[in-house]
Amino acid sequence: MDVDTKDEFGLLRPGDLLSPFLHGGTLDGRELPYEQLWQKRNVVWFVLPARAVATASPYLRDVDDRLSALTPPDTSLVISDQAGDGLPLNCVVIADRWGEVVQAARLAADPAHWPPVDEIIDWVEFVRAKCPECPP
C-alpha cells in the first residue's frame, strides 16, 4: 500500500525522503542537481519564489556562511524557485546525506519571520551527530 506522508499542504515530513529528481542551485547561481549531493552531503533546501531570493539574500548568505564554517564541510545550501515533489514554494527542508528529511517548515512571506539561523544550524548539527561514523 502506498501511503502519502506529506502534510496537508504537500510538505514533506520528518522521515520522508527527498526526490532524486530535484534541482536547485547555489547562492552564486551554479546549478546543483540533488543527484550530485545524494550520499555525499547533508542538505538545507529552500524553495522560494525567485523574487523572494533577493529579499532573503542576507538571511541566505548568513546560512551559507555558517554552513561553510562547519568542520568537516559536509552540508550544502540549495535554493530552488520550482516547487517539487513534497517541496512547495516557501519552505525549507533539512535532510541528511541519504535524503531523509529531519525537519521541514513552511516559511512566512517575510524573512524576518523565518526560523532563526541558529535554529537551522542546530538542526544541521543534529543531522551530523545522528551519523558521526558516516564519511563526509
Domains and CATH numbers, the chain: 23-130 (3.40.30.10)
pLDDT over 70 (residue 134): no
Could you report the per-residue pLDDT of 6-58, keeping only the tens digit for each?
555 579 999 999 988 888 988 888 898 888 999 999 999 999 998 898 899 99
Q: 8-28: b or e for each residue (b if 16 or more CB lie within 10 Å)? A: eeebbeeebebeeebebbeee
User: How does pLDDT run across 84-129, given as a tens digit for each residue?
Assistant: 888 999 999 999 999 999 999 999 999 999 999 999 999 999 999 8
In the prediction, which pLDDT does 7 show? 52
